[in-house]
Amino acid sequence: MSNVIECKNLTHYYGKKLVYENLNINVKEGSILGLLGKNGAGKTTTINILHGFLQPREGECLIFGENTQNLSPITKSRIGFLIEGHVQYAFMDIHQIEKFYSGFYPKWNNEPYWELMSKLKVTPKQKISTMSCGQKSQVALGLILAQEPDLLILDDFSMGLDPGYRRLFIDYLRTYAKAENKTIFATSHIVQDMERLIDDVLIMDYNRVLAQSSIGDFMGNFKQFNFKLNSPGIDLSKEDFVVNLETTGKEIELFTYESESFVKDFLKKNNISVDNFTEIKMGLEDAFIGLTGKY
């Protein structure tokens, strides 16, 4: 299976501030990758490089084998972008804007657009200017789906939607992408949305990549153990196997890629007394916070 997106050794600075160094990203055809990170970790920088709006200090990004700084019109026609700001021409209604956009795209297919509008319960005569931020973002996405792009690059795709509509939309998007063999590169500040959507995850922190794997491997290998620490003066945060440690009094939340038996054996061998040792089942948001820290 070929790579639709290949980012090779990306390095970028803003002034003297390093955003990231030697970042490598591959997104295979038909897969859905979620890019996660705290504010300032480099998500928007990466999106802007993929758009061709920003040239990296070093390295390159390829989409369908072409450098994103110089994409051909044919390749551009294969890409659908959802960016902040969403829909222009807010004076139009739902029907008018679909007709307007259809004139620019030879492969226009309005079926997914109207299907999504139906799920959002908006009427054809409803003006975009009267819609909520979340509804506008989904109108924009419906217009993108109707273009029949092979690759969708979606930045904060569920912004402004309430929980029920987010769930409905995410399930629709995944079903659509898999049925049509679409490739998706997505970011979202709502991490729990990603868990239902993505195949692969890339988690970035300041200046570095913290995790890059399939969502199944990451959620299966990254673990949280809670326990009460009875031994005074012990600082487990310095141990190599500890990825992150949250401490409240004697109560410990330990995050690691090691197994329960490994952690218990370590505590026993080092005469560290604990009570109530429990493995905690995490969702993606829990794992994200466990990996990046709460602050």
Give the confidence band of 84 by pLDDT, cuts at 50, 70, 90.
low
Asked if 282 and 247 count as a contact pair (C-beta separation under 8 A), the reply is no
Instruction: Answer yes or no: do 197 and 248 share one domain.
Output: no
Q: What angle do CA 75, 114, 137 make, to 5 degrees?
A: 65
Which of 194, 217, 240 terminates a domain? The answer is 217
Which of 157, 185, 217 terminates a domain? The answer is 217
Instruction: Answer yes or no: do 75 and 210 share one domain.
Output: yes
Give the confidence band of 85 by pLDDT, cuts at 50, 70, 90.
low
Does the pLDDT of residue 190 top 90, yes or no? no
Q: What is the span of the domain harbouring residue 285?
A: 222-292
Taking only the tens place, the pLDDT of each residue in 127-174 is: 988 988 778 878 888 999 999 999 999 988 776 677 877 888 888 899
Does the pLDDT of residue 232 top 90, yes or no? no
Instruction: Answer yes or no: do 200 and 233 share one domain.
Output: no
The CATH number that applies at residue 7 is 3.40.50.300
**Bridge pairing between strands 242-248 and 200-205:** unpaired
Instruction: Answer yes or no: do 208 and 227 share one domain.
Output: no
Does the pLDDT of residue 121 top 60, yes or no? yes
Q: pTM for the complete prediction?
A: 0.90
